[in-house]
Structure 1
């Protein structure tokens, strides 16, 4: 059993918020594998509903912030910016900063397979924490805390064209992990000459990774690279 009160205090310090409902906090840390292994299910309800809520709240907050930061960006640009901020890799890093891996209630099976280190579990638990925050503190406080937690990533969006640098980021990631270079292929062109849409596939060797489209080849390649990065970042 965790010394929950002490762990709660450490997370509260990192978040800058004190929970009113300790049971809610405990629930946010309870993986379904643990809830399924014990008899007192009511006392250890899993965190999946909180994760569902936290995911929605996080998307809403980040979307609202991006709309304020970039009033002239298109819906497509904003979607790609949000995806570069809200993804499994980034959320898992947030979870690590809060030491969520050490605090989780996990079942024996997940313990054996190093569940405390899995990106997907850390990311989902972080979202569950946000869901618990929303229920415990309300939207305005949760908004403020999310904005503070994601300050570095949001600041990076304003300092560089993050949505225009997907090809570079993808190449760096693939070279580091697979020692290869991604290949871009125009698969088709649609529309009239004055308003063409280019469709591009990005591949690793002979394996297609993702697809993208745009008004020119460069834009289509960037969109394909963005989609590929999202897929790679979901990989646990």
Structure 2
């Protein structure tokens, strides 16, 4: 069994057009003209539709906000990268020399993009229904585990709502430092609560992650002290 056949077995889908699979695995570092970005665009939309429809039918009593949060937790980049790792996608990625040397086949963003590209490729190769069955298989355990109660709002949203409910000023976020070279940078971010004269500093691999960590610290302090 060759490598591509092994991957198809792990995916649970055999491509009628092998070139479509090849394209889905091709990162832009290989070619600016022939890469998986367009398939990623299609797969992103298809994944959102598949997960939205499944959640709509699984949770008939869930409110719109709950459905939105559940979908967000399932289709976020971190989750997609986890699914890609479970399927062993990283070993089959086609990367340029620089990305290969820097461990691009292990990077969350590249893995997540490749998973979306594979979904887009399946839509074109086998149609929406075949794609839906495969994708729901990939997400089966996560769909069983999720609930309207388990999908919490992110820390920044919860912090903002906590402050608004008590008529406090909203937090201010500021990047204090950025160290390292992309894509292995570390961001240091401050979350300030001016009215309460408190500041919380946290770091992360992206500005968004650092802001979320700082907001989590702020929220924890507020819940314990006010």
- The alignment's TM-score, normalised by the length of structure 1, stands at 0.67
Q: 1:95 aligns with which of 76, 84, 92?
A: 84
Is 1:28–1:125's contact at 8 Å kept on the other side of the alignment? yes
CA distance in 2, matches of 1:130, 1:11: 14
The alpha-carbon deviation at position 163 of structure 1 amounts to 2.2
Matches within 5 A, 1:152-191: 152-158=141-147, 161-164=149-152, 184=159, 186-189=162-165
Structure 2, unaligned runs of 5 or more: 174-187, 193-207, 213-226
Structure 1, unaligned runs of 5 or more: 171-182, 191-196, 210-230
Residue 29 (str. 1) matches residue 25 (str. 2): yes
Alignment-derived partner of residue 198 in structure 2: none
Alignment-derived partner of residue 141 in structure 1: 130
Alignment-derived partner of residue 81 in structure 1: 70
4+ long deviations beyond 6 Å: 197-200
Distance 1:131 1:189, change over 3 A: same
Is 1:30–1:47's contact at 8 Å kept on the other side of the alignment? yes
| Deviation string, structure 1 residues 23-72 (Cα, Å, up to 9, x no partner) | 11100010001114xxxx5xxx1000000001100000000000001112
Matches within 5 A, 1:1-236: 6-36=2-32, 45-158=34-147, 161-164=149-152, 184=159, 186-189=162-165, 207-208=190-191, 231-232=208-209
CA distance in 1, matches of 2:140, 2:81: 16
Q: Tell me the matched-pair count.
A: 180
CA distance in 2, matches of 1:208, 1:24: 45
RMSD: 3.2
